[in-house]
């Protein structure tokens, strides 16, 4: 996993793009509307806490069941609480990993979303640092 973690907050470049007023049907097609609603800046929808947000690129296939594929760009928010069920970026033994956090009773583990990868059971004495919660996944369809 390649991490890009800014040391100082940077102002995101504004890039408003057209936003169609109509919705796209995933079932039967519907007639398209002939006008646009306005403009949309993805920063407004993807980044809720700019000073606490960074991007990281995923590698590997351990999280395909969560819709995270090799090469995807992950949006990570350090201000969110890493609670049970959230997908997190964690550092273990000097390595970054993306996994689903599981906190059940007195057991804490990092769960893969691929049956080929066993869960990582955290024991007392394991040094694990959660670097943030994954809020969005961006991947190319081409």
Q: For the segment 13-24, what is each residue's pLDDT rounded down to a tens digit?
A: 565 656 555 555
Identify the three-state secondary structure at position 46. helix
Residues in CB range of 33: below 8 A, 6 or more apart: 20, 21, 22
- Answer yes or no: 102 catalytic: no
- Quote the distance between the C-alpha of residue 3 and its chain's center: 13
Closest CA to 70 of 101, 114, 102: 114
Domain boundaries, the chain: 17-46, 47-138
Catalytic residue among 30, 51, 79, 99: 99
Cβ count near 34 (within 10 Å): 8
> 8-17, 40-49, 67-76, 91-100: which has the minimum mean pLDDT?
8-17
Indicate the fold that domain 47-138 takes in CATH: Umud Fragment, subunit A (2.10.109)
Tabulate helix, strand, coil % of the chain (nearest 5). 10, 40, 50
Whole-number Å distance between alpha carbons of 70 and 64: 8
Catalytic residue among 59, 62, 79, 102: 62
Length of the chain, please? 142
pTM to 2 decimal places: 0.76
Q: For the segment 43-52, what is each residue's pLDDT rounded down to a tens digit?
A: 888 999 999 9
Closest CA to 110 of 58, 63, 53: 63
- Answer yes or no: 79 catalytic: no
């Amino acid at each position: 996993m390649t991490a890009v973690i800014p040391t100082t907050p940077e102002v995101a470049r504004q890039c408003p793009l057209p936003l169609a007023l109509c919705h796209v049907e995933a079932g039967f097609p519907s007639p398209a509307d002939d006008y646009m609603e306005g403009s949309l800046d993805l920063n407004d929808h993807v980044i809720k806490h700019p000073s606490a947000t960074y991007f990281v690129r995923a590698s590997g296939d351990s999280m395909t069941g969560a819709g995270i594929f090799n090469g995807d760009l992950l949006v990570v928010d350090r201000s969110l609480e890493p609670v049970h069920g959230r997908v997190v970026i964690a550092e273990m033994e000097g390595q970054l990993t993306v996994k689903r956090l599981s906190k059940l009773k007195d057991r804490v583990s990092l769960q893969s979303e691929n049956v080929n990868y066993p869960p990582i059971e955290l024991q007392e004495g394991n040094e694990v640092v959660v670097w943030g919660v994954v809020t969005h996944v961006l991947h190319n369809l081409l």
